Amino acid sequence: MKNMCLFLAATMAIMSASWSGADEFSKYQQILPRGQIAAVTKPHYVTAKRAVIAGDSYVLGIVVEGQARAYSLNLLNNHEVVNDQIGDLPFAAVW
């Protein structure tokens, strides 16, 4: 009986969690076809000396394992996501 109660409680908890997500997803609105905003999946980089970027332009800067990288916010606006990796750490740059 105790096991049955636990099973029912667990099932109800899972259903509740699923419902919450389903409820949230019902508010999702597709605006553009998926893929129309092209994420960057194989990022390329230049050095600071070679970069053509205005001093007052904004960047998202990161430092991982001592390596610094900068992503122009204006480029991020166009691509939304940069899928990147430094060392063993894969990460997504989003702002």
Partner 1 sequence: MYDRRYDGKVLTFEASGGLIKSSLVLQDRETDSYWPIMSGKSIHGELAGTSMKEMTVNRKMTWSDWVSMHPETLVLSVNSIEDQADTYSHYFSSKRGFRNSRAKDRRLKTKTPIFAFRLKGKPYAVPYYEIVGGKQFNIGNRVAYFYRSPDQGLHDSTLAYIADADAACLVEESIIKSGECAAPLTGFDTFWYNWSLNNASTALLD
38's CB contacts (< 8 A; 6+ apart) are: 79
Instruction: Report in angstroms the alpha-carbon separations of 29 from 9, 38, 60, 77.
Output: 33, 19, 28, 19
CB atoms within 10 A of CB 48: 8
Query: According to the binding rule CB under 8 A, does residue 87 interact with partner 1?
Result: no
Mark 38-57 with x for binding to partner 1 (rule: CB under 8 A) and - for no binding. xxxx-xxxxxx-xxxxxxxx
- Which 3-42 positions form the footprint of partner 1 (CB under 8 A)? 17-18, 21-22, 24-25, 27-41
Binding interface with partner 1 (CB under 8 A) = 17-18, 21-22, 24-25, 27-41, 43-48, 50-64, 67-75, 77-83, 85, 89-95
